[in-house]
Amino acid sequence: MIRQLFSKAGASHSGPAISWPQARVVEALKRRYDSVESIGEDDGFVLYAVGDRGINFVVALITAMKSEVVEIGFLARFVGFPVERAGVERLNRALHLSVAGIEENGELYLLAGIEVAGPFEEGTFLLILEAWGRDLMLVLNTLGGGASLAAAFPIARSETARRYAENRAPETEGGVMPDLLKAYLGDRASMSVCGECGGRGRRGLIARSCEACGGSGLVKTRGSMSP
């Protein structure tokens, strides 16, 4: 049953040429989420029940020999919510990592499946988890009737924050709007995952703070796509 569900998300593995250590994947999950519990295996998947701020989902690992992960799946199920197919179609156009679908009984499924690529780096894996979290946020917004996303964030309810975060449209020059994206993507410094520690912020067996990023896991870089 689990494998049939994930097949809807296009999760298929073509060969175990690249893998990630299962222990490191699970360790990263436990650092990221409130609750991570092993719930056994089903149809070739190693399953973990995850709780994140009141939302439950399953992370499924397909492993090769010696507990090496070759594929990772995500599954969240929403039962009893009033969901319309038109709303799910709009939702799918906005999702980054996942696909959403309604079953005949009205249940909404959110599924994602990825094949691992390259050596395991926790910073990269956390970016995948953030993409899954973004998709969950979009689903919850849809289930809530499409209420304002800004209203869900405490910072957006702060008048002080709203005032200083304001960006007003600039005056046009000869009827042409200034190219804001060109200015934003100029030679200013931007942030990226630290290559020395892989985004962990710590290095070595005694877990000292990474000197390259100061323990933040992020470093400033110069844009390579400057106009």
pLDDT per residue over 174-199, tens digit each?
778 777 777 766 655 566 778 777 77
CA dihedral 18, 73, 56, 80 (to 10 degrees): 170
Which CATH code for domain 2-146? 3.30.1460.10
Percent pLDDT > 70 in the chain is: 80
CA dihedral 41, 47, 48, 51 (to 10 degrees): -120
User: Which residues, 6+ apart, have CB-to-CB distance to 151 below 8 Å?
Assistant: 157
Mean pLDDT of 10-19: 54
Residue type, 199: G
pLDDT at 194: 81
Tell me whether residue 157 is exposed, middle or buried, using C-beta atoms within 10 angstroms of its C-beta: 0 to 12, 13 to 18, 19 or more.
exposed
pLDDT above 50: residue 1: no
Mean pLDDT, the chain, integer? 80
Q: What is the pLDDT of residue 77?
A: 94
pLDDT at 61: 95
Nearest to 116 by CA among 48, 63, 58, 169: 63
Do 76 and 57 meet the contact criterion of CB atoms below 8 Å apart? yes
pLDDT digits (tens, 9 = 90+) for 97-116: 999 999 888 899 999 999 99
pLDDT in tens, 138-185: 998 888 765 555 665 677 778 888 888 888 787 777 778 777 777 766
Check residue 188 and give its pLDDT.
55
CA proximity to 18, closest of 60, 64, 59: 64
Q: 55 near 70, Cβ under 8 Å? A: no
Distance of alpha carbon 48 from alpha carbon 40, whole angstroms: 8
* Residue-level pLDDT at 8: 42
Query: What share of residues in the chain are helix, strand, coil (percent, to 5)?
Result: 30, 30, 40
- pLDDT tens digits for range 50-83: 999 999 999 999 988 778 999 999 999 999 888 8
Q: Where are the domains of the chain?
A: 2-146, 186-227
* Gap between the terminal Cα atoms of the chain: 50
How far is it, in rounded angstroms, from Cα 140 to Cα 152?
11
The whole-number pLDDT of residue 191 equals 65
